[in-house]
Structure 1
């Protein structure tokens, strides 16, 4: 069946969060702390180990007292903040105590996200062809400002964000919401993402799925290009 609408994951598919060391450097600078590069990278590695950066590495181990928050992190905005601030606090950081909240706030800023090189060109081409696009994301905050700042908001017809609907991927209802918003049947939709489990959940509705590699922005210049061929098929 002809593809009439495309659903895209956000993090790791269209854009990627900045490296942990850059994220930490910004946060520490904002509370008046500057560290030697080797110390900053040591702390960044520790933060990666505990999964403190949303959109970055997952925790090596989720502390038992945080497991409930971890499971519900993408359907509750307040819980999302509480979880990631608590995870970060496992790593002692210099400076004011509010550095952990500063870091959490930083990860929601458009400047903290870097588009993959082919993201905007592919979205623009789909728009030129009259193919509507929805972003389907497991997330605890509104990412529309990120798309606006990077010049892609007008290329997205709808957003299906887990925290706004109380349901997350791979559960079918979030994909169904996106298809309904685009006015296409699931069998006419293509889901594009980087996670076979979460994004692959769209197949339960009958959507086709195309997976891209979860790589740094500079290492993945054209994984989204095949979408244009799939839509044209």
Structure 2
């Protein structure tokens, strides 16, 4: 299948890098910070208790469930206060967590593929997470990064896709959204009028992973490198953008 692609929006977590190792690293960094600076809070809030509290925070403040940064900071303030510590320390605790959360390990194909894609069309990051591409060192490959917290609503809400298209200066039908999640990325972008590409790194077939009634992707590849190959083949006469 070929169609016009004037810009690409990309999901980040589990598309450019696996999220689980980054979260494990972040929780370990937070544990170390708590044990060093507020050992009473560390004893009161081991990992399992923090995970339960994190889920409860979204239930208590559903209007902010899309904003992971705000919810995490408020959670840390609550942890410290309930442990009898100064809640003002939450900012330092968050920095320890977030710095490690941004120490991602890219999939082997990701960075070379992003280099190739960015040489052809503008890229924009479109994520429900809160990773910082500037800290990670990839912001130079992207026109901008738009997160659910910044926008005010997460994927699959069509508004976040439309906001990205407007900022890119392209109609939705000429923007390809790339991601790993069939509901938030593929169905959400499809409903917003974008073309879609499912990065299916696990080789999962449509049965069992594709929820009934959701639209399928326009493209499906196991890696971002394969997507870059497709873009080169689908638009062979186009010169790389300056």
TM superposition score category, shorter chain reference: 0.5 to 0.7
C-alpha spacing 1:44/1:78, structure 2 compared with 1 (3 Å): closer
Kept in 2, the 8 Å contact 1:18–1:112? The answer is no
Distance 1:213 1:113 in 2: 23
Q: Which residue of 2 is the match for residue 67 of structure 1?
A: 59
Q: CA deviation at 1:25?
A: 2.9
Would you say the 8 A contact 2:33–2:96 is kept in 1? no
Q: Which structure would you say has the larger RCO, counting Cα contacts within 8 Å and 6 or more residues apart?
A: 1
Q: Secondary structure at the match of 2:8?
A: strand
SS at match of 2:146: strand
Quote the offset at 1:19 in angstroms: 5.0
Task: Specify which of 166, 174, 198 is matched with residue 184 of structure 2.
Answer: 198
* Matched residue, 2:228: 228
Kindly report which structure 2 residues correspond to 1:140-155, keeping only aligned pairs within 5 A, or say none: 143=131, 146-155=132-141
Change (3 A) 1:186 1:133: same
For residues 104-132 of structure 1, give each alpha carbon's deviation from its aligned partner in whole angstroms, at most 9, with x where no partner exists. 43342266431322221111101222x10
The structure with more radius of gyration: 2
Q: State whether residues 26 and 101 of structure 2, in contact with CA within 8 Å, keep that contact through their aligned partners in structure 1.
A: no
Secondary structure of the residue aligned to 2:126 is strand
Unaligned runs of 5+ in 1: 34-42, 53-58, 216-221
Indicate if the aligned counterparts of 2:189 and 2:195 stay in contact, CA closer than 8 A: yes
Correspondence for 1:108 among 95, 98, 103: 98
Residues 155-164 or 97-106, more deviating: 97-106
Cα distance in 2 for partners of 1:212, 1:45 equals: 31
In structure 2, list runs of 5 or more residues that go unmatched: 37-45, 203-221, 235-242
SS of 1:210's equivalent in the other structure is strand
1:181 is aligned to: 167
Tell whether 2:116 aligns with 1:125. yes
How many residue pairs get aligned? The number is 202
Structure 1 Cα separation of the partners of residues 67 and 26 of structure 2: 24
**1:5–1:46 Cα change, 3 Å:** same
Which whole-Å deviations, capped at 9, do the CAs of 1:118-169 have from their partners, x for residues lacking one? 221111101222x100111124x5x4xx323433111001222222222221
Is 1:25 the counterpart of 2:11? The answer is no
In structure 2, the residue matched to 1:38 is none
Query: Structure 1 residues 127, 28: closer, same or farther in 2, change over 3 A?
Result: same
Contact 1:7 1:190 (C-alpha < 8 Å) held by counterparts: yes
TM-aligned CA distance change 1:29 to 1:118, over 3 Å: same
- Tell me what 1:135 maps to: 125
Distance change >3 Å, CA 208–CA 229, structure 1 → 2 = farther
- The residue aligned with 2:238 is none
Query: Shift of residue 7 of structure 1?
Result: 0.6
